């Protein structure tokens, strides 16, 4: 096995771990339904910072972190990605706590198609006819949902675009996963700390107010946030962006099943048409990707 094959295999396992974790994350947030979404995000940031600082110390990565922060282009890119992931976290947690897991799963189903759009617009990648048809079909599905049951469509679109842009920028940023995520959380840390301290001063903090169970869940938010993102960013460095998009189907599929079978969210006819169009588009995209990969291998061997 070549080094490139080992790198790709490692990337596949890292990506699989990230998307499986994200797929079941709604169960965790439902257990914190009595906590305000802004406070959950603040604790995610602060405890992630503690967790990542411990890892950086253990793995001796502080020199690399300082180098990245001292590089203006890298620091600015990570400031943008920090804002994107912070907004993504807030919207998703709010969606889960307000019974919109279905719209959240749709957002992450749309993400690979947004990746294609970014590749076409920003990287000047050309789309084959099947892929153009797939994108058009997905757009039609979203339009159906907008007309028939569009109250939560903004959730889907916001999640899809914020995470697609986050993944794109993290892929091109010349910084490793631990260093990048540590800097992102450090940028968000002061805002999170101010919010938590303000809640404490007003007697509105959930930490210490609902028992040891809630406290542990809030503290564990650090590891539960950092580990999947570390896996994802490490996978993004090892895999083609399109391959990473294929793996992403795992998380929204699990979220979709949780929304309908566990949380009892209503699946409307507009949802069925939209999801059907998205699933068909993703199937076309996947089959076309396999065909092109097979063709490329054949040309290499010829």
Does 121 have pLDDT greater than 80? no
Q: What is the pLDDT of residues 179-238, one digit of tens each?
A: 998 999 999 999 999 999 999 998 889 988 888 999 999 999 888 888 888 888 788 778
Does 149 have pLDDT greater than 70? no
Q: Which domain holds residue 293?
A: 3-301
Does 270 have pLDDT greater than 90? no
Does 282 have pLDDT greater than 70? yes
Q: Give the whole-angstrom CA distance, residue 166 versus residue 83.
A: 9
Region 148-152: what's the mean pLDDT?
69
Give the pLDDT confidence score for residue 129 in this predicted structure: 82
> Residue 106 CA to chain centroid, in angstroms?
13
Give the pLDDT confidence score for residue 232 in this predicted structure: 81
- Work out the number of other CB atoms within 10 angstroms of the CB of residue 224: 20
**Whole-number average pLDDT of the chain:** 86
Give the pLDDT confidence score for residue 111 in this predicted structure: 80
In 72-211, where does DSSP find H-type helix? 72-97, 101-122, 129-149, 153-172, 177-201
Give the pLDDT confidence score for residue 65 in this predicted structure: 94
> Residue 242 CA to chain centroid, in angstroms?
15
Region 163-173: what's the mean pLDDT?
86
If one counts the domains in the chain, the total is 1
CA distances from 141 to 105, 112, 150, 240, 281 (A): 14, 15, 11, 27, 10
Please list, residue by residue across 256-265, b when 16 or more beta carbons sit within 10 angstroms of its beta carbon and e when fewer do: bebbbeebeb
Residue 144: which of 284, 268, 283, 260 has the closest Cα? 268
Please list, residue by residue across 93-111, b when 16 or more beta carbons sit within 10 angstroms of its beta carbon and e when fewer do: bbbbbeebbbbbbbbbbbb
Q: What is the pLDDT of residues 59-117, one digit of tens each?
A: 999 999 999 999 999 999 999 999 999 999 999 999 999 999 988 988 888 887 787 77
For residue 291, give every residue at least 6 positions away whose Cβ sits within 8 Å of its Cβ, in sequence order, or none. Answer: none
- Asked if 216 and 47 count as a contact pair (C-beta separation under 8 A), the reply is no
Give the pLDDT confidence score for residue 90 in this predicted structure: 94
Q: Which residue has the higher pLDDT, 80 or 2?
A: 80
For residue 57, give every residue at least 6 positions away whose Cβ sits within 8 Å of its Cβ, in sequence order, or none. Answer: none
Give the pLDDT confidence score for residue 246 in this predicted structure: 67
For residue 241, give every residue at least 6 positions away whose Cβ sits within 8 Å of its Cβ, in sequence order, or none. Answer: 115, 119, 167, 168, 171
User: What is the radius of gyration, based on Cα positions, of the chain?
Assistant: 20
User: Of the ranges 2-11, 192-201, 252-261, which one carries the lowest mean pLDDT score?
Assistant: 2-11
pTM: 0.83
């Amino acid at each position: 096995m070549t080094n490139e094959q080992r790198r790709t295999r490692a990337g596949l396992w890292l990506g699989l771990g990230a998307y499986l974790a994200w797929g079941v994350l709604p169960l965790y947030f439902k257990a914190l339904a009595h906590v305000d979404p802004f406070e959950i995000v603040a604790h995610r940031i602060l405890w992630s910072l503690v967790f990542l600082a411990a890892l950086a110390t253990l793995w001796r990565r502080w020199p690399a972190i300082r180098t990245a922060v001292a590089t203006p282009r890298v620091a600015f890119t990570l400031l943008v990605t920090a804002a994107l992931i912070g907004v993504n976290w807030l919207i998703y947690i709010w969606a889960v706590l307000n019974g919109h897991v279905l719209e959240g799963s749709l957002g992450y189903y749309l993400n690979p198609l947004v990746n294609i759009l970014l590749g076409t617009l920003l990287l000047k990648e050309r789309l084959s006819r099947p892929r153009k048809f797939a994108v058009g079909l997905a757009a039609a599905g979203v339009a159906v949902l907008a007309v028939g049951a569009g109250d939560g469509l903004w959730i889907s679109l916001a999640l899809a675009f914020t995470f697609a842009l986050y993944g794109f920028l993290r892929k091109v940023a010349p910084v490793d996963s631990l260093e990048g995520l540590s800097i992102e959380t450090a940028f968000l840390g002061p805002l999170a700390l101010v919010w938590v301290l303000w809640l404490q001063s007003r007697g509105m903090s959930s930490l210490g107010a609902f028992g040891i169970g809630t406290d542990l869940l809030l503290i564990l938010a650090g590891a539960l946030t950092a580990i999947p993102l570390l896996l994802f960013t490490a996978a993004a460095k090892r895999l083609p962006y399109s391959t990473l998009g294929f793996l992403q189907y795992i998380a929204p599929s699990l979220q979709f099943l949780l929304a309908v079978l566990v949380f009892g969210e209503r699946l409307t006819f507009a949802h069925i048409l939209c999801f059907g169009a998205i699933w068909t588009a993703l199937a076309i995209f996947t089959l076309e990707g396999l065909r092109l990969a097979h063709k490329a291998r054949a040309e290499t061997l010829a």
